[in-house]
């Protein structure tokens, strides 16, 4: 894939620049409004909470990048992807007088009004970045290239960016391989599951009461991958007294009908893990026909990749 992120100071006209660059390169343009539309279609919570926004955006963009090269023109887009050979993160800046002049023309304001509005827009942009990405401003290392539009026009910048991408062989790269997209998407969806984000089409009619937050997170993750599940559907007697009364039983956390698989989630407490493993071992001995697995996070990821569930889309 090739991903070009472009963001900039308010009223520097970086949005128009991004549109021109996308047209010149033949890339798909991703704007804030388009991302909001996709998120609304994908999740059952709109707007997406700021704390989960980055993970939601990366999940969507990773899937898109398997079929498209992208220009991402969203405030704070420089925080979406790390520096890689496939990406170029561009920041657009301009002197305050020039930006105020742009507002004077666009909004038909006099200079004092434009300067006041610009100060408000700058403050809003800082709050927006802070709430969504945890940083009010982007340091220089968040960008691969910073451009001041005072001395060059949009056409010159667009041509210059095409030359930089060509020199780095970014334009020659294929789309994002499915395996790499799956890794990115899984990590993003894991974060979304922690924020109780689930696909809109899998919104649960009845609210399940889980015994532990990790179980709800796992259920959300199953929903992302279209895996039907049942929560604690059956208890298995493990020990009986001399009168045949059950003295110990085991209730696995989940049952996955498509895989005929019971799942017991792990915990960080080793004593509890040991106790669960003992019960699972005993269950397997008594009920050899029952398929049960103790799951760590890595086990679920292995299940996703093994059965090709990474190709599931909303």
Domain ranges across the chain: 3-191, 203-311
More confident: 312 or 284:
284
What confidence tens digit (pLDDT) does each residue in 95-149 have? Answer: 999 999 999 999 999 999 999 999 999 999 999 999 999 999 888 789 999 999 9
pLDDT over threshold 60, residue 203: no
| pLDDT tens digits, 57-80 | 999 999 999 999 999 999 999 999
How far is it, in rounded angstroms, from Cα 6 to Cα 119?
A: 21
Percent of the chain scoring above 90 in pLDDT: 50
The CATH code of domain 3-191 reads 3.40.50.300
State pTM to two decimals: 0.78
Cα–Cα distance, 124 to 121 (Å, whole number)? 5
What region does 11 belong to: left with phi over 0, alpha with psi -120 to 50, or beta?
left
Location of structure tokens 């002197």? 95
Mean pLDDT over all residues of the chain? 86
Is the pLDDT confidence value at 266 over 80? no
């Amino acid at each position: 894939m090739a991903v070009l992120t472009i963001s900039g100071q308010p009223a520097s006209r970086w949005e128009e620049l991004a549109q021109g660059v996308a047209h010149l390169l033949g890339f798909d343009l991703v704007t804030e409004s388009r991302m909001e539309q996709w998120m609304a279609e994908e999740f059952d919570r709109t707007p997406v909470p700021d704390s989960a926004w980055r993970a939601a955006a990366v999940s969507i963009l990773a899937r898109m990048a398997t079929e498209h090269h992208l220009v991402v023109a969203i405030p704070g887009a420089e925080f979406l992807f790390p520096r890689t050979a496939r990406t170029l993160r561009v920041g657009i800046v301009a002197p305050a007088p020039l930006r105020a002049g742009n507002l004077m023309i666009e909004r038909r304001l006099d200079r004092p009004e434009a300067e006041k509005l610009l100060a408000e827009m700058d403050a809003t942009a800082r709050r927006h970045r802070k709430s969504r990405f945890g940083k009010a401003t982007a340091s220089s290392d968040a960008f691969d290239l910073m451009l001041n539009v005072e001395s060059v026009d949009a056409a010159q910048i667009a041509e210059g960016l095409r030359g930089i991408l060509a020199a780095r062989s970014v334009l020659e790269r294929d789309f994002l391989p499915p395996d790499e997209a799956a890794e990115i998407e899984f990590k993003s969806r894991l974060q979304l599951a922690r924020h109780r984000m689930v696909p809109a089409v899998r919104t649960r009619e009845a609210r399940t009461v889980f015994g532990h937050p990790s179980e709800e997170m796992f259920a959300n993750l199953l929903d992302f991958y279209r895996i039907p599940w049942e929560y604690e559907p059956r208890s298995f007697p493990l020990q009986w007294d001399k009168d045949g009364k059950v003295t110990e039983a085991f209730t696995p956390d989940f049952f996955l009908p498509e895989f005929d698989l019971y799942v017991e989630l792990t915990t960080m407490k080793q004593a509890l893990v040991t106790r669960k493993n003992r019960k699972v071992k005993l269950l397997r001995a008594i009920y050899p026909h029952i398929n049960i697995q103790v799951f760590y996070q890595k086990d679920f990821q292995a299940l996703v990749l093994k059965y090709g569930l990474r190709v599931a889309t909303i």
